[in-house]
Amino acid sequence: MALGVFLFAQSLPAAITLNGSTLEVRGDKTVEDALKASGIRPKPGDLVAVDGSLLEADKGKPFHATINGQDVSDLKAKLASGDIVEIGNGGSVEEPSDVVEEVIPWEAQQEGDGAIHIIEGTGQDGKKSTKTGKTSGIVVDQVTQEPVNPVIRNVTPDVGDDKVIALTFDDGPWAEQTGAVLDVLAAYGAKATFFTVGDRIEQDHGAEYVKRAAAEGHQICTHSYDHARGSGKSTNLGFMSHEERVAEVEKGYAAIEAVTGTEASRVFRTPGGNFGPEVIRSIGPLIKAEIGWNIDSGDWNRPGVDAIVEQLENAWPGSIVLMHDGGGDRSQTVEALKTALPCLEEQGYRFITMDELMQYPLS
């Protein structure tokens, strides 16, 4: 009797909703039976090339169907009363292809022309696929993930009526001449920013001068660990490998922190001021800002005390002045400071650190 009841139930039609209309499906009650009962004749899709052009008509998917929202591809799929079925034309099928994935490197977008270079955002590489159709031979490129490009804001501090100047010193500490620079700054109550070279801190009593500079309120930053010596030719981190560039910054920080016992400033100056795209890619995530300059004192070339003084006395409110306490004999620098600082002080100028300068609005 149970078998009879089952067979009777199986013989009853399935009442379904097909494309919004009620339909009774008999027989095996499959999608194929529903098509026969409805009279619907789906049009097959096409076989297309990787660029979307037609290769063969009607060689794509034969139909499109869902049962209760779930895709089905088998005409023999069973239906039950109450099912909601959608059936329509088949979709296109893309030819088989060979696919090569490539990275799209992110690139920093530059804005402005100021001497303070602030990185906003974190770069993220994109992705591109190149498809070559196995039937057509057609080649197409497709960006599958857009790169995320950080912005380098090259800004200038708006100091208003404040007559402030940022004196910066590169390449030290360097024997007693760093001490001589500190003596002159102390005599005039001037604060400065020292962009130190890490391996100089570790020799010739360099640690003592860094400790003194920090204790006297000067800002201690890194100018790399060894000024891009070796593959960087002592001038450009861009000549180095990614790993070398990262090491130059991280080891520079470590040299400062070993002496001061505090986290090193993330304000950085690249050797030679060479802050190109590859350098930005490597060290951008490691720094807060890269610092250029408005006035090059020229002291690195030892042009004579008067020439250095002339450059210093041309400073204006908010300017960043490049000088050196290391990299060779800096006696001209020391003597120029003795002349220029009192002159500028008489004009109402104050001498502040980069951190202090960057507290002003930056635009």
Here the tokens at position 34 are 């529903």
Contacts of 360 (CB under 8 A, 6+ apart): 157, 158, 159, 160, 162, 318
Give the helix, strand, coil percentages of the chain, each rounded to 5. 30, 30, 40
H or E element that contains 133: strand 126-133
Three-state DSSP state, 174: coil
CA distance 247 to 230: 13
Asked if residues 217 and 193 have their Cβ atoms less than 8 Å apart, the reply is no
Catalytic residue status for 324 = yes
Closest CA to 291 of 322, 261, 315, 251: 322
Please give the DSSP secondary-structure letter assigned to residue 148.
B
Angle between helices 175-187 and 206-215 (to 10 degrees): 10
Q: Work out the angle at residue 322's Cα, subtended by the Cα atoms of residues 202 and 150, and round it to the nearest 5 degrees.
A: 85
- For residues 213 and 174, give the distance between their C-alpha atoms in angstroms, rounded to a whole number: 13
Catalytic position from the list 171, 227, 324, 325: 324
Task: Let me know if 296 is a catalytic residue.
Answer: no
Catalytic residue among 33, 46, 83, 170: 170
Measured distance CA(220)–CA(261) in Å, rounded: 12
Report the catalytic residues. Answer: 170, 324
